[in-house]
Structure 1
Amino acid sequence: MSEWNSMNREIKKNQLRRQIVPTSVDKDESSEEIIKKARDKVRKKRLRIFLVLFIVFAAGGIGAFQYFRLYHYTRYGVVWAKQMNEGSYEGYMDFGSNVLKYSKDGASYVDSQGKEVWIQSYEMKSPKAYVSGDYAAIVDQQGNSIYIFDKAGKTGVATTVLPIVKATVSSYGVVAAILEDSTSNYIYFFNQDGSVLDVKIKALLGGDSGYPVDISLSPDGTQLMGAYAYLKNGTLNGRVAFHNFSEIGKSIPDRLVGGFDQPYDGALVAQVRFLDDTYSCAFADNSVSFYSTKNALSPELLKQIPVQEEIKSVFYSPKYVGLILDNPKGENPYRMEVYKANGDHVFSTGFQYQYTSADIDGDHVFLYNGDSCRVYSMSGRLKFSGTFDFPVSKIRNGRLPNTLIVMGPQNMKEIRLQIGGQYQ
């Protein structure tokens, strides 16, 4: 009996051991599960940390964007200042990320820190500069010379027999110029080295084409947009025409691929401009029109916006077009309208500021006069207003979102906008 009890106790002990201590297989399975749970826990922890950091950075980015977009600055600090050789100063033109400074006796290419990259001397009575992409042309209006530049310096000089009225340049250095004589006008074309291209357009006020008032080359140089004046029943009317100088335009008479008369019946077109290789605009005395040459052989009038008020100024960039109008019925004497290159409306705002010049650089509109400026964002908000202690000729964006380059005949400064106002 005692043996039986002893065996019974051993059996019960073994059963108890099996319940308390797992087998080797159970041990392995338990260890794998523990490791898996630990890894899942680490992954979840890392995911939570990532989400928290993402939210923090996103909130910071949105906050910074709203800060730069909405805040109204009224003070500034000077980052750097350079004395400029004034000479017989005429003006500045945006030239890539830098500027072209030109005068009656020469031109210089100035970088974003006020350093002169190159200087070119010449003599002109009435210089006028034109820029597109990597090329610039300076012409002597009513004179006979055209200086052509890229970012490295002069690439050529064109000399004409007839006086130059206006010109335009492509981003590849091709120049088109309106030349006039006593009975007709001509549009001549020149290579970047100044040599004459075998292309010419003759225009008469009383002829079929009309008299060229303004011209603009597309950036790639294959299309020419012209504003013409022509007589119809004894009345002067406006016309917009497109010429194509690529291979596909060879078979078309005078390479004329599109003409628009009806939109300008009884009106004159004063200025035309290719904004990029597809979109262009025309400014008449009672409207602004937006065109597309996506189909190179069939230009399209996308939108014509009537303007009842007097147009005081027009300005543009590759992305935007701006108008400043008289605003006789509002509390502000002026109204600014800004559109995208395809004619879509961006914003409208009234103002009382007595400006003399208007520009667009990036997503900012600049209004300025001899000693002060205003900067607007593309939401129509006033970002900065301030005065300066030196004459102002041009303003553009600086190297950082809250900096500006302010240029005058004798000075160039980069300024950093500082807090001094409230949200508008």
Structure 2
Amino acid sequence: MSDMNSMNREIKKDQLRRQIVPASPQKDEDSNEIIKRARTKVKKKRFKIFLVVLLILSAGAVSLYTYFKYCQYTGYSVIWEKSLNEGSYVGYLTFGSNVLKYSKDGASYIDSQGKEVWIQSYEMKSPVASVNGPFAVIADQQGNSIYIFDKTGNTGVATTVLPIIKATVSAHGVVAAILEDSTSNYVYFYKRDGSYLDVKIKVLLGGKSGYPVDISLSPDGTQLIGAYAYLKNGTMNGRVAFHNFAEIGKSVGNRLVGGFDEPYEQSLVAQVRFLDDTYSCAFADNGISFFSTKNALSPELIKQVPAEDEIKSVFFSDKYVGIILNNSEGENEYKLNVYKSNGNLVFTSGFQYQYTHADIDGNLVILYNEDSCRVYNMSGRLKFSSTFDFPISKIRGGRLPNTLIVTGPQNMKEIRLQIGGQYQ
């Protein structure tokens, strides 16, 4: 009997085993493949949507770029206008987001919305100013005071014993100043707080080095380019010299690492400028010279651009150099040439306009006089030409591609350029 019960139990177990159906491996594989294909399909769909959106955005960006590049504005409207503090106005320089206004009795920094960020009072008989990146310097020519500023205000004041001829500043706030003595001139250096740096260059007026005409510091403050005038065979000649004040320059006497005389025989160099830490230029009456200091101990003249006619104006930014010449050929009275910092030509354009100032601001070349302006882009296209019913002292680009900030002695306006718009 027990054997029968045992047999029945085994039969029931066997029936139960047969009723349990195991999961099919093939079905698991099919299910995973379906999920995988679904995910791949979703990814492809998302990628196609991304490509379409990217294509639309790219087309919009190209269209917008083309519009701003080729359109010519014929009118403007005033976005805002603000009155400025009156004073014995001398000039404006591009500084930070807008301009540095300086006069005989003080200076102020005005931002891109016409707000005076700071005001500094002083007394100078003949203020001269220079800007390099976030720092500015104002010196009293033939006086003895040098004021140093950043975008937050005055950082220091340097007082000299000898009269000041010129001053320049680096993008780190180091100041170099030409000081005049009866028998020699000196280039002294000062920190941003106005304290004296124990570095100087002595130039004998009757010596081989010549009379210093202009100087410029590199943005990092370690290099100085100088323009000098000296007498040779009864004729005044120009010279460009480079000094290095980094550690590497200690190995050279007077830290003089390079000098160029030959390009300026019977010619004078009126102005020099470091455009960035590598490239610099010199403006002479016979043309423009472009230099490179990639080799800190051996500056190189990389391009000499001769002046085809008399030079009327020179101007520059950290990326471009502009020159305006009298045009003896053709119907236009003047010729505008713009170059990159390495001396390569960007564009050339003839024009008739009677300007008094020329600036480069970003990718704009701005010519203006006391009541009108002409604005070119870096393709040489005339973007805007207008006459204003208010006095102009400075024009620069606004916050948007189709805006300009126009500053006068006592007021500032931001204007929006329009196609076929009315003058307001």
1:326 aligns with 326
Check the 8 A contact 2:96/2:111 in 1, yes or no.
no
Question: Which runs of structure 2 are paired with 1:82-161 in the superposition (5 Å)?
Answer: 82-161=82-161
Structure 1 residues 396, 24: CA separation in 2 closer, same or farther (over 3 Å shift)? same
- Asked if residue 335 in structure 1 is aligned to residue 335 in structure 2, the reply is yes
Check the 8 A contact 1:205/1:231 in 2, yes or no.
no
Q: How far apart in 1 are the matches of 2:253 and 2:48?
A: 69
**RMSD, aligned α-carbons:** 1.8
CA shift for structure 1 position 161: 2.4
Q: How far apart in 2 are the matches of 1:196 and 1:29?
A: 81
Give the partner amino acid of 1:347: F
2:348 aligns with 348
SS at match of 1:254: helix
2:192 aligns with 192
Check the 8 A contact 2:110/2:116 in 1, yes or no.
yes
SS at match of 1:102: strand
CA shift for structure 1 position 295: 1.1
1:15 aligns with none
CA shift for structure 1 position 40: 4.8
Q: CA deviation digits over 1:82-104, x for unaligned, max 9?
A: 00112100111111223211111
2:212 aligns with 212
Structure 1 residues 139, 51: CA separation in 2 closer, same or farther (over 3 Å shift)? same
- Asked if residue 275 in structure 1 is aligned to residue 268 in structure 2, the reply is no
- Asked if residue 363 in structure 1 is aligned to residue 357 in structure 2, the reply is no
CA shift for structure 1 position 48: 3.2
Check the 8 A contact 1:72/1:420 in 2, yes or no.
no
Q: How far apart in 1 are the matches of 2:28 and 2:148?
A: 82
- Asked if residue 254 in structure 1 is aligned to residue 248 in structure 2, the reply is no
Check the 8 A contact 1:95/1:134 in 2, yes or no.
yes
Structure 1 residues 304, 29: CA separation in 2 closer, same or farther (over 3 Å shift)? same
CA shift for structure 1 position 300: 0.8
Structure 1 window deviating more from structure 2 (145-154 vs 40-49): it is: 40-49
Give the partner amino acid of 2:274: F
Check the 8 A contact 1:323/1:336 in 2, yes or no.
yes
Give the partner amino acid of 1:212: P
Q: How far apart in 1 are the matches of 2:29 and 2:161?
A: 97
Check the 8 A contact 1:219/1:277 in 2, yes or no.
yes
Q: How far apart in 2 are the matches of 1:164 and 1:148?
A: 14
- Asked if residue 400 in structure 1 is aligned to residue 413 in structure 2, the reply is no
- Matched residue pairs, number? 399
CA shift for structure 1 position 314: 0.4
Check the 8 A contact 1:97/1:112 in 2, yes or no.
yes
TM-score, reference length from structure 1: 0.90
SS at match of 1:250: helix
1:296 aligns with 296
SS at match of 2:259: strand
1:67 aligns with 67
TM-score, reference length from structure 2: 0.90
SS at match of 1:194: coil
Q: How far apart in 2 are the matches of 1:84 and 1:28?
A: 79
**Unaligned 5+ runs, structure 2:** 1-22
Q: CA deviation digits over 1:249-284, x for unaligned, max 9?
A: 112111100001111112111110001111100001
Q: How far apart in 1 are the matches of 2:217 and 2:28?
A: 78
Give the partner amino acid of 1:144: N
Q: How far apart in 2 are the matches of 1:212 and 1:31?
A: 86
Q: How far apart in 2 are the matches of 1:178 and 1:283?
A: 19
Q: CA deviation digits over 1:118-150, x for unaligned, max 9?
A: 111111111111111221111111222111112
Check the 8 A contact 2:335/2:348 in 1, yes or no.
yes
Check the 8 A contact 1:205/1:229 in 2, yes or no.
no
CA shift for structure 1 position 388: 1.8
Q: How far apart in 2 are the matches of 1:161 and 1:188?
A: 11
CA shift for structure 1 position 49: 2.8
Check the 8 A contact 1:289/1:304 in 2, yes or no.
yes
Aligned identity (percent) is 75
CA shift for structure 1 position 303: 0.6
CA shift for structure 1 position 160: 2.0
CA shift for structure 1 position 204: 2.9
Check the 8 A contact 1:311/1:324 in 2, yes or no.
yes
Q: How far apart in 1 are the matches of 2:379 and 2:229?
A: 37
- Asked if residue 53 in structure 1 is aligned to residue 58 in structure 2, the reply is no
Structure 1 window deviating more from structure 2 (379-388 vs 282-291): it is: 379-388
